[in-house]
Amino acid sequence: MDLSKEELTALIAAQGKIIARLEERIRELEAQIHKDSHNSDIPPSRSFTPIKNMRKKTGKKRGGQKGHKGKTLEMVDNPNRTIVHEASTCVQCGADLSGMPPDGYERRQVFDIPPITLEVAGHRAERKRCHCGHVTTASFPGGVTAPVQYGINIQSLLTIFSAYEYMSYDRISELMAHLIGHRVNESTVYSLQKRLFEQLADFEEKSIRHLHRSGVIHNDETGMSVMGKRRWLHITSTRALTHYAVDDKRGKEATDRIGILPHFHGRSIHDGWKAYFRYPCDHGLCNAHHLRELIFFEEEEKAPWAKPLKDLLLFAKTSVERAKNEGRDHLDPAILQHIDRRYREILQGALADIPSPTRTAKRGRVKKTKQQNLIERLLCHEESVLAFIHDFNVPFDNNLAERDGRMMKLKEKISGTFRSLQGGSLLRQNTRLYLDRPQEQQKCLRRDHECIFREAVRVGGVVNSYV
């Protein structure tokens, strides 16, 4: 085939564009293969390759270290019951010892629970006729409202199994049959969850007002299957309170309906989703996400700037933790200046060294590389990235909101999908009632189911909002 010089030049240029597109596609496919939970946002359950351990060796041996305070069973001074085992016969000569007083005792204690049995308490309200002719009937105790019902202890146990242990209704019924010899209907478990949900109905408004006044909140969103359709679980949390909401949308339209961010004036910690930046509050970005991206660029793309920036962020994190442990509420000005200056030096140098992207299409903007996108994002949001070194109330990452979403994903994995918006809301609301409380509050909940309702508006709790 004879080609003119112009045709040959055009052919070579076209082939060059094809090669550039193919090389970009190869890089994308190789990146997918090498990504896992340690260098991307892919969860461990979806990683197809062995996950690299990010922990550094400390030189310590495995197991408990010297000086570590262990926990074990210890004898109590006053056991619930004491069983005396009599030494009736001498093991040496066979003499009868039954009438002799003991010289002392050797003690052992067994910690166990008594057999669980179902106790039925009958209530009878007397009816008496007065001399005036009126018949008066005594009142039943509070909570005894039906001819036949489950008591407060069983109600508490069923609620814990469903809202805290994430068991399915049928498994709860089977477990109760094993424990007490009586199978509880699945509809009963659901009714108890619904009752708790209704008792906490006014918590929605109170929680939103509390979050509006908070200085720092965490925001996150994750997909959730409801009635076989993909919807979005929106999470807003502090260390004392978690608010859940389910919406068909992921972006600003949904967060506007939820009603927290439009009236919030503190600092929102999130993973950089663009919808959050559309609100005028201060922002803080999750540096755990940044570290994973930097690890990928360091290990897979051999980017020379990635490791220095990763080390700088870890140095800043360690410096803040050390200052907090020493009782200080700020870093030394020299350290702050060093981190700020070094941060900009690394990113500006990296941006200058990255070659200009090659146009692979005839129209539209030139596609930037992932490295270039991250560098520009970190430079643009420098204040949000480094907010944690200037204000110790700002956390290094957004792990709080991400942890709050894991339990909902766990229940979804167990059940496959929520069969109704209300069914999902019962779990989300009642779950947070347990998870956001300190241990002594949880003991109260296990001890007396009614204290759930008495204490619901006092300490951390759960609120659900669905559209």
- For residue 15, which phi and psi values (nearest 5 degrees)? -65, -35
7 pLDDT band, cuts 50/70/90, is confident
> How many helices (H) and strands (E) in the chain?
16, 8
Which positions ≥6 away from 111 have C-beta within 8 Å? Answer: 73
Say whether pLDDT at 69 is over 60: yes
Over residues 222-247, the mean pLDDT reads: 87
Say whether pLDDT at 322 is over 80: yes
Q: What is the DSSP string of 145-187?
A: -SSS---HHHHHHHHHHHHTS---HHHHHHHHHHHHS-PPPHH
Residue 43 C-alpha from the chain's centroid: 14
Q: Could you tell me if 129 and 135 are in contact, meaning their C-beta atoms sit under 8 angstroms apart?
A: yes
pLDDT at 68: 79
Q: What is the dihedral of CA 369, 371, 372, 376, to 10 degrees?
A: 140
Which positions ≥6 away from 427 have C-beta within 8 Å? Answer: 162, 163, 166, 193, 408, 411, 418
Each residue's pLDDT tens digit, 84-130: 999 999 999 989 998 889 999 999 999 998 888 899 999 999 999 99
Report the C-alpha gap between 272 and 449 in whole angstroms: 40
Share the mean pLDDT of the chain: 82
Over residues 150-172, the mean pLDDT reads: 84
44 pLDDT band, cuts 50/70/90, is low
Q: Could you tell me if 232 and 254 are in contact, meaning their C-beta atoms sit under 8 angstroms apart?
A: yes
Over residues 435-447, the mean pLDDT reads: 45
Residues in the chain: 467
Weakest-pLDDT range from 35-44, 206-215, 336-345: 35-44
pLDDT at 50: 61
Each residue's pLDDT tens digit, 380-406: 999 999 999 999 999 999 999 998 888
Give, as one character, the DSSP assignment of residue 62: S
Over residues 253-258, the mean pLDDT reads: 94
- Closest Cα partner for 464 from 236, 285, 286, 254? 236
Say whether pLDDT at 296 is over 50: yes
Q: Could you tell me if 398 and 432 are in contact, meaning their C-beta atoms sit under 8 angstroms apart?
A: no
pLDDT at 441: 43
**Which residue in this structure is represented by tokens 């990504």?**
35
Q: How far is CA 339 from CA 295, 332, 397, in A?
A: 19, 11, 17
